[in-house]
Amino acid sequence: MSFEPNQFRSAGSITAPAVYRAGRWELFEPRPPLTRVLAGRLWRLRPGLTFTPYANPTACNAHCTFCSEELLRKDGTRLTAKTTITDFDRYFAGLDRVWRELAGFEMGLSLSGLEATSSPPWMLRMLALVADHSALFPEKVLYSNGTGLFTHPPLVDAMQAVGFDRVELSRSHLNEDINQQIMRFNRGEPIRKHAAFEALIAALRDRVTVKLSCILTAAGVSTLRGIEDYIDQAADLGITEIVFRELSQLGSVYNENRFTDWIAENRVDVRALMQQVQPDTGDLRDGWEFLGATSGYYYYNEVYQRRGVTVRLEVSSYTAHHDAHRTGVLQKLVFHSTGDLCGDWVPDALQIGNYY
């Protein structure tokens, strides 16, 4: 009953969903690690890991109440989010050196961090470099709040030219006032308005696959009825895939601050929602189809369909994420604004080398 990487267990093979929900990421069995020389040293890497060029060319143009980039782990001393990229030439020269060292290694591109599209010049240079190394990334994903994609349409053209697989647009609620209370866009950002969000989806969906990402919170979408309303509205906009994410389990590895407090107060239990949709015994909720489940080293998804929309309900654990990073196998690669390549989101943890 364990999950292999990228394995999707169809609903027909799952007779007791509660067993999988209880095991979650603990049922994930990674492939054997591979070795690679990086910065002059031999490292063990998880095949298929994701590479993140940490996107912070500017301070973020939204100030989400749940922002994970404001969480300082107890084994860290600083946040990458506080050190923006000031020398673009040096940054991209360093990233180019990293990718040349990694040539031929199997991995995906996850462009995230703060907001990659907040600086169109930086984003266009990033896309140009990705094009130069396109063979390195069989899957390319942008995680974005949509700000620069709306105000600078050439970014969409460039993404399409590079062959991005999808854009995951973050939207905590489809009511603009409720969403603004949670995501808190800068006052001058048009995307804070629902009309602009709708227009962006219309501009994107025929060019790049669009997946909506909704963080479930007590302040926003928190109930199954709320999820269904969100799906219905998104379906009317032409969206065909949505992920509803539980605020990640933090455990005791982070220093307490107003963000950890907000997360604790507003977490919604996604396992309880899964049980409402697909009980361990009993009938599936009307209007839903259970497709199956998948798992990674720190997350677990159940996949459904409603109104022609593929719906993922996801739980995750930063504690499991942290534990996996301490096994001696690099689970992820992050290129930070300081020029440090790390095996961790924390800029002074699992440092591989500096490429400046």
- Average pLDDT (194-207) is 95
Least confident residue range of 67-76, 180-189, 345-354: 67-76
Going by pLDDT thresholds of 50, 70 and 90, the confidence category of residue 254 is confident
Helices 154-162 and 120-132: crossing angle, nearest 10°? 10
Enumerate the H helices of the chain as residue ranges: 17-23, 88-101, 120-132, 147-151, 154-162, 176-183, 194-204, 224-236, 258-266, 270-277, 318-324
Higher pLDDT among residues 144 and 1, named by residue: 144
143: left (phi over 0), alpha (psi -120 to 50) or beta: beta
Gap between the terminal Cα atoms of the chain: 45
Average per-residue pLDDT for the chain: 94
| Stretch 278-293: mean pLDDT | 93
Angle separating helix axes 224-236 and 270-277, nearest 10 degrees:
80
Look at residue 1 and tell me whether its pLDDT is greater than 80.
no
Q: What b/e string do you get for 300-325 counting C-beta neighbours within 10 Å, with b at 16 or more?
A: bbbbbebeebbbbbbbbbbbbbbebb
The secondary structure of residue 28, as a DSSP letter, is B
pLDDT above 90: residue 27: no
DSSP code for 113? B
What would the mean pLDDT of 338-348 be, rounded to a whole number? 90
For residue 76, what pLDDT band results from cuts at 50, 70 and 90? confident
Spatial neighbors of 73 by CB under 8 A, at least 6 apart, are 253, 254, 255, 322, 346, 349
Of 209, 207, 110, nearest to 154 by C-alpha is: 207
- Rounded to whole angstroms, the Cα distance separating 64 from 185 reads 8
Cβ distance 313 to 305 under 8 Å? no
Whose tokens are 């969100």? That residue is 230
- Is pLDDT above 80 for 51? yes
Phi/psi of residue 161, nearest 5 degrees: -65, -35
pLDDT at 239 over 90: yes
Evaluate if residue 129 carries a pLDDT over 80: yes
Q: How many C-beta neighbours within 10 Å does residue 140 have?
A: 19
Report helix, strand or coil for 333. Answer: strand
Residue 303 sits at φ, ψ, to 5 deg, of -115, 130
> Are the C-beta atoms of residues 185 and 197 closer than 8 Å to each other?
no
Do the beta carbons of residue 81 and residue 114 sit within 8 Å?
Answer: yes
Could you tell me the sign of the dihedral formed by the alpha carbons of 170, 173, 174, 177, in that order? negative
Distances in Å between the Cα of 132 and the Cα atoms of 13, 57, 63, 92, 253 are 42, 20, 33, 12, 38
Residue 62 has pLDDT above 80, yes or no: yes
Q: Are the C-beta atoms of residues 204 and 167 closer than 8 Å to each other?
A: yes
Q: Please give the structure tokens belonging to residue 240.
A: 């065909």
| Confidence (pLDDT) at 321 | 78
Residue pair 290/302 in contact by the 8 Å Cβ criterion: yes
For residue 160, pLDDT over 90 is answered with yes
User: At CA 330, angle to CA 327 and CA 331, rounded to 5?
Assistant: 95
Average pLDDT over residues 132-144: 96
Is the whole model's pTM more than 0.75, yes or no?
Answer: yes
* pLDDT at residue 78, as a whole number: 84
- Higher per-residue pLDDT: 324 or 56: 56
Tell which CATH classification among 3.20.20.70, 3.40.50.300, 3.30.450.20, 3.40.50.720 matches the domain 9-354: 3.20.20.70
> Given this model, what pLDDT does residue 282 score?
84
- The pLDDT value recorded for residue 86 is 92
Amino acid identity at 242: I
Percent of the chain with pLDDT over 90: 78
Q: Is residue 155 pLDDT above 90, yes or no?
A: yes
Residue 320 pLDDT level (bands cut at 50, 70, 90): confident
